[in-house]
Amino acid sequence: MKVIAAINGSIAAESMAFYVLKYAQVQNLTLVLLHIENKKDNLDDVEASIKRITTLAYSQDIKIESVFLHGLPKQAIKKFISSVHVDTIFCSTRRNKKFTTDSFSELLIKINLNVDIAVVHIVNINNIMDLSNITLSINEDKLSVKKFTFFATLASAYKADGEIYSLSSISRQKLSIVDMHEARERLSAINYNLKHYMKLANLMSFNIHIKHDFTYDEADSILMHIVKSNTNLVIVGAKRLSGTLFFKKEMPIEKLMREASINIIAYYTNED
């Protein structure tokens, strides 16, 4: 099985590839450095970037390949994916009001690919080589095995402490009059439903804890938590939406990508 890193010659894409190296190493996957030739990217920069990443992969005994595709990106990527067994595609994205606008990441999350997609927004390059705390943000106890595995793989790769940041949605009005007994009962139920993931973390030998918050604004709560905590990377589950719905209004993940002070990974499973 293979994991793909989309490379375009930029510093962001090359930095993102270090996450993919770590992921491939733990899961024993072949890393594919993928580039679809186009007029925007400088081919010399792409080849130089691939050479540096390849050198690093060889030094860590990670299996690696490079693939150059031609033609229209949508058709090229779909044809390639259909011919290989791919676990996840990683790609980087730049800071923008709409974080995926006119980008390869937009293409990936809008077309029907039977693979998981990790869209990585790089803010701090220094946190890529060595990080000690990783946060997975979820809605209450809604955590799939796939998302936990993705999160746990990176936490294990970095030997980092893990945090599950569980957000419970509540209206602004109700937030001001929360019944403490009811709140404790609600949080206790969430902890109970997540306990098997805590057990798995113990088997994988990495530290993990659950942090709870009630919120009427998911993105703002995550941004505030980033400021208050010492986390180095936040992973957020995201959904693949149609172009019309996705761009009708700003989504919480877009606000996170635009305003977060640390690196963010938006993880799209092929079931979402």
| Confidence (pLDDT) at 100 | 47
In this structure, is residue 102 part of a structural domain? yes
In this structure, is residue 129 part of a structural domain? no
| Confidence (pLDDT) at 41 | 92
| Confidence (pLDDT) at 248 | 43
In this structure, is residue 27 part of a structural domain? yes
Residue 7: give the domain boundaries: 1-123
The CATH number given to whatever domain includes residue 70 is 3.40.50.620
In this structure, is residue 242 part of a structural domain? no
Domain count, the chain: 1
| Confidence (pLDDT) at 95 | 58
In this structure, is residue 212 part of a structural domain? no
In this structure, is residue 272 part of a structural domain? no
Task: Point out which residues pair with 92 in neighbouring strands.
Answer: 120
In this structure, is residue 5 part of a structural domain? yes
Question: DSSP secondary-structure letter at 207?
Answer: -
In this structure, is residue 173 part of a structural domain? no
Position 13: which residue type? A
Taking only the tens of pLDDT, the chain with its 272 residues reads: 999 999 999 999 999 999 999 999 999 999 999 999 988 899 999 999 999 999 999 999 999 999 999 999 999 999 999 999 999 999 998 755 454 455 788 888 888 888 999 999 999 898 888 899 999 999 999 999 999 999 999 999 999 999 999 999 877 666 666 667 778 888 999 999 999 999 999 888 789 999 999 888 889 999 999 999 999 999 998 876 544 434 444 567 888 888 899 999 999 998 76
